[in-house]
Structure 1
């Protein structure tokens, strides 16, 4: 049985960020109504993780950098059309729709963390629009997470690659002809 060669794509800081964010968001969701102090600590962890990801996106390794994977709206729409026709290329890093999801998730969890923090200040304590925004973003985040999981499953099946395992090990199948680096 021949071994398929692999290459390192996701470095340790990105993988730790990803799984720490997933765990922190899950903890926030589970403690939202019952354990306020734990909810707040997990929320601050989320805020710190978003800050870390922004730094990695600007000055991290190749596949962590926003400049490597954020594509133009036109290119993203072309990719979506190719995907619907089952003709999308494999990307070694994030594909254009994955990039949109990264940005969307960062904006959403950042907004949730911001509105959560605002509720702890004198200026915004009990302000209805802040509470409603916090809750609405948290509910929308669940939809975005579901779409993220569906996208990971779709890309894994389409390109015969376990993307969950890649986010654990950092390694993906070596590029072949037609793959986009």
Structure 2
């Protein structure tokens, strides 16, 4: 029996343009880092804007982009992977179970990358959404000075050492915060890169075994399907 095939629209322009814009923005940010900070920051903002749009679209967007359509149970995901290893084709109009899990993993990791990046930007340069006002900065500096002064009174060092303590303490607090957010930001960025590698590997393997043109579908928005698709 020959299955009748037809072409259906799966991915709208917003998803397709957003997907490729995200690819460009993430790798631009990853490759620039400290060398071109302004480019790095703006690329990060583009990633953040896409994440907001994609999360909203996951609840109110079209059928195949909603989370409710491609978030599967662990049992379904494992079952799909077993069939993939056994080279038994499985056809899904939208994301397959493994692809859906990867979308969620990437969204979470990218959110961590963008969020920690903006926090680090605030700690280092006091810029971005997490930047504090001048009044808040003065209050924080006053708090550090009070703590430093209290420590200086109890110290047994000479007067010269006591006078230099507030500056060193203030720097230590900022440095610790900077190192913490920098390491966390790098962790999420590298985790995202690793997930991108597995995502590409999954697209290649799934395209070959399931005999689907997944990259073409993300470019044109359409898939050629038959009655074996679900």
Question: What TM-score does the superposition give when structure 1 sets the normalisation length?
Answer: 0.91
Which residue matches 1:132?
Answer: 183
1:166 aligns with 2:167: no
Q: CA deviation at 1:176?
A: 2.5
Larger Rg: 2
Tell me if structure 1 keeps the 8 A contact 2:48–2:114. yes
Q: CA deviation at 1:125?
A: 6.0
Q: CA deviation at 1:161?
A: 2.1
Tell me if structure 2 keeps the 8 A contact 1:79–1:88. no
- SS of the residue 1:41 aligns to: helix
Provide the C-alpha distance between the structure 2 equivalents of 1:150 and 1:73, rounded to a whole number of angstroms.
20
Tell me if structure 2 keeps the 8 A contact 1:118–1:125. no
Structure 2 unaligned spans of 5+? 124-131, 133-172
Which residue matches 1:72?
Answer: 73
1:84 aligns with 2:85: yes
Which residue matches 1:97?
Answer: 98
- SS of the residue 1:119 aligns to: helix
The 3 A distance-change label for structure 1 pair 136 and 142 is same
Give the structure with the higher percent helix: 2
Which residue matches 1:152?
Answer: 203
Provide the C-alpha distance between the structure 2 equivalents of 1:125 and 1:12, rounded to a whole number of angstroms.
44
Tell me if structure 2 keeps the 8 A contact 1:119–1:125. no
Number of aligned residue pairs: give it: 176
The 3 A distance-change label for structure 1 pair 125 and 73 is farther
Q: CA deviation at 1:175?
A: 2.8
Which residue matches 1:22?
Answer: 23
Tell me if structure 2 keeps the 8 A contact 1:92–1:175. no
Provide the C-alpha distance between the structure 2 equivalents of 1:155 and 1:176, rounded to a whole number of angstroms.
19
Provide the C-alpha distance between the structure 1 equivalents of 2:40 and 2:22, rounded to a whole number of angstroms.
14
Provide the C-alpha distance between the structure 2 equivalents of 1:125 and 1:18, rounded to a whole number of angstroms.
36
Tell me if structure 1 keeps the 8 A contact 2:84–2:206. no
Tell me if structure 1 keeps the 8 A contact 2:88–2:210. no
Tell me if structure 2 keeps the 8 A contact 1:105–1:144. yes
Question: What TM-score does the superposition give when structure 2 sets the normalisation length?
Answer: 0.73
1:120 aligns with 2:130: no
